[in-house]
Structure 1
Amino acid sequence: MRVVLATYGSRGDVEPMAALALRLRELGAEALVCAPPDEEFAARLAEAGVELVPVGESVRSLVSGPPPAPSELPRRAARLVEQFHAAVLAAAEPGGAVVATGLFPAVAGAQAAAEQLGARFTCVALQPTMLPSPQHRPFEYPMLPYPPEVTDPRELWELDIGTMNALFGVAVNTRRAAVGLPEAANVRDLVLTGRPWLATDPLLDPWASPGEPGGGGEGDGGGRDEGAAGAAWPAVTQTGAWILPDERPLPADLSAFLAAGEAPVYVGFGSMPLRDPADAARVAVAAVRAQGRRVLLGRGWARLAEVDGAEDCFAVGEVNQQALFPKVAAVVHHGGAGTTTTAARAGTPQVLVPQIVDQPYWASRVADLGIGVAHDGPTPTSESLAAALRRALAPGTRGRAAALAADIRTDGAEVAAKLLLG
C-alpha cells in the first residue's frame, strides 16, 4: 500500500513525518513525504532514506522575511490548498492512505485529494491546541480576536468554526468546487475529520476526552461528546510522539568543547526567527554566565552567534539533539513540541521562552511537571532569564527531569504505522 504523508511547516512538522515513513516502510508499505523544499529538510529526509516531494516555497524564507500584509493571506491560503491538492493527487493512489499535518490550507488540500481519489485520510495534530477540546482554548489569530468577555473554551471552539471559515473557507471551497467536490459549511471539522490523531507523548501531553477525568493513551479517544451548541467533540487517537532516530555523531569541535569543562547550558530557538538575534545572544550568554556555566548557542533560524569570542561560549549549527541534550546542564528553547520532547527524553531540565501558537502550552506543561521553568513572556532580559535558569538548575528540578525521562515513550511512529496498516 502507498501512504502519502503531507505537511507544510517547520522542522517540527517535517521530521515526525519522516519517522512515520520509516516505520511504514519497515512494515512493508510504500511511503513518501510531501513537504516544503527547504534544503535542510531535504538533507534530513535524505539521511533517513525517505523520499521527498517538494511542495510550495521555502518555509525558512517565508518566516524570515517581512510578514505578509493581511490582504495577502487569502491568496497565500488558496495557493497552498492548490499546491498540496495537486501534489498529493499525483502521489497518492485509490485505496491508499494520506496523512496530513501542518498549516491548515495544506492539510485541506491533501484532504481534498484523498477524497477525490478514494484514499483513506487521516488528519494528525503534532500539538493539542489544534484540536477542539473543552480542556483548552483554540489558537487565536491576531487579525480575528475572540471577544474578551468569552472565556469558556466550549464557546470559543464554536466561534473558532466561524474564524476558520472566514480565514480559509473561500480557499478550501473554491478548490473543492473546481474538482467536483461538495463545498463545506464548516471547513475546520471537514479537514480535522471526526477522528483525528494526536502525535504527542501522553505523559507530557495527557489528552482528556470530554467527560473523562484522565488523559488519553494509545488509541484512547473516547466517544464523540457534545460540545457547546450541540457540536460533537472529535474522538482523538493519541499515538505518542513520532520520533525520528538520529545516529549522527556530534561534530569534533563540539565534542572538544563539551569535554573541556563542566556541562554547558544550551540555548537555541529552533525554527523561530528573532527580531534582534544579537541582543538575544547577549542576554542568553549573560544569564548563563551568571550561573557560573558555559554557554552553547544553537544558531537555528534566529542565527544566534558568540558575543565576545570568549572560550566559555560556543555556537553550533544543525546538530543531533538526541545525542547532545544528555550532555548539557539545561536546555533553553522556544517550546516547540519536538525540542520539548527531546529534552524531556534526555532527562535534562528546561527553560521555555515561548513565542507563538502551541509554545505557551508546552511551557505550562513543563512547569506543571516540575521538569523545568516557563519564562514569563517571549523576550527575556538577562535578569529574568537568569532567575529562570537558577530554578531550572536546582537539584530538585534536575531530579524530577531525570525521573520522568524513563517514562517518555519512543514508539509513537510504530503505533501510528500499525494503525494505518492494520
Structure 2
Amino acid sequence: MTESISSVQETVVNGDIVTTVTETKTLNPDHTVTTTTTIDKTDHADEDNHVTTINQTTSTPSPDLDKQIIRQIEYYFSDVNMLRDKFLKNEVIKDDGWIPLSVLTTFKRLQSLTTDFKTIMDALKKSISGILQLHETEDKIRRHPDRPLPNSHAELELALKNRTVYVEGIPKTADVTLDKLLHFFDKYGSTDNIQMKKQPKTKDFAGSVFVVFPSEEKAHEFVENSKKTPVKYDDGSILECSLQDQLTNRGKEKQAKKEKKQEELEKKTNEHLEKLNNENCLGALIHLAGMAASASRELIKEKFLPFAKMPWIDFNRGDPEAWVRLNEANTAKDVLEKVLAAGNGKLVIGDKEVTSRVVEGEEEARFWKEANEKRAAQRTQKNERYSGGKRGGFSKKKRRGGQKRKNNQNQSNESDDDDGASSESNSAKKMKGVTTD
C-alpha cells in the first residue's frame, strides 16, 4: 500500500498553449519514494489538439530509510551484538570478517526495511560512524579492522555501563514500540542500542529503557541536559534519566539496606529464640497420632482441660498428629494417665480413638528446638507488621489495643485457622513459664 507524501502543480501560459506540470511523491511499502511528473499541454488555438504525457517516474530511497538501514546494520556489527550473536560470530570467521548482503537480508528487521542490495549499499555510503567497511564488489560488508571488538565480556560490560542511560516514565502502552523509541531518541543524537525493559512474567513493556550512546561523553551530556530541560515523551510524560553506573550505585545502596535489615531481623529472631529456649518446659509434652478428619484444637483441649491449666495445642485441622504442651514441667505422664482414666483407658477425639504417649529424651529436645525456631521467626514477623505506626494513621498504642480486643474475641471462639496458631486465654499468657506467639 502506497501513501501520498506531497503533490505540486504549476501552470504556465504561453500564448494559446497552457502547460500544467504536476509532481506527485508517494511512499512505497519498501520505504522508497516514487516521484511521478505529469505534463499536460493544451493548445487553445486548436481545441482538438490536447497532448498529455508522463515525463518521468523515478523511485528513490527516502532519507528516513537510509537512516534506518544505517542504524540497523551498524547495530548488527556493534560491540553489544557481535559479542553475543553466535550466528554472526560464526559467519565472520568464514571470509576474513566479510558478511554477504545475502546473509544480512535474511534478518527480519532489515527485511522489513529493504532487501535491495543497491539501496542498502547506497545508504551505508552515507554512514559516518566508521564502524563499517564496504567491499568494492558492493555485495558484502564487515566491521572495520580499525574498530576491533573488546577483548572480553567484562571489558564490554564496563564500556557499555559507562555510556548507558536508564530512562523511566515511558507510558506502558501497547503502541510503544522499538521503532517509535528509536525515532523518539533520534532527536537527542545517535544511539548504539535501545533495550526495552519487560515485565518478568507477562513480558509486557515495563515503561523504562536502557539507551546506549556512542560515547561516555554523549551519555553524560544527555543526562545533564535532562536536568536542565526535562525530557518529555510524546504524550507529555516527563522522563527520569540517570547513568547506569549511578543506577548500579543505587542498587548497591538498596542491597546494603536490605542486608542490614535482614541482619537486624536475624538478631531479633535470635533474641526471641534465646528467651524461648530458657522457657522450655521439660517433661510436659504429649504426642497424639491417628487424628480424625473432624478433629480440632478445641476438641483436643476439652480432653486435657480438666487435668491441666490451659494446655497449648500444636495442631492444624486435617493433620494426622498433634502435640499437647503443658504449662508445668514433669507433669505429662500424670496428666496423660488421668486423661486415659477418664476415657476408660481410651482417648477418643472427634469420632476416632487416637494413640498417645509422653515425648521424652532426644525427641523432646528436637521438638523444642524446631518449635522455638519457628515461634521466634513468627514473633519477629509479627513485630515487624505491627511496628512503625504505618497502618491507617492510628497510633501504636491504639492499634495494639484494637489488636488485643480482636485477640480476646478470637480466643472466645473455635481457633482452627490454617496458620498453626493455638488459642489461649490472656490469664494463661501471664503464667510463669508460658510463652505465646
TM-score tier, shorter chain, comes to under 0.3
| Larger Rg computed on CA atoms | 2
Whichever structure has more strand as a proportion of its residues is 2
Comparing both chains, which one has the higher relative contact order based on Cα–Cα distances under 8 Å and sequence gaps of 6 or more? 1
Whichever structure has more helix as a proportion of its residues is 1
Tell me the TM-score normalized by structure 1. 0.19
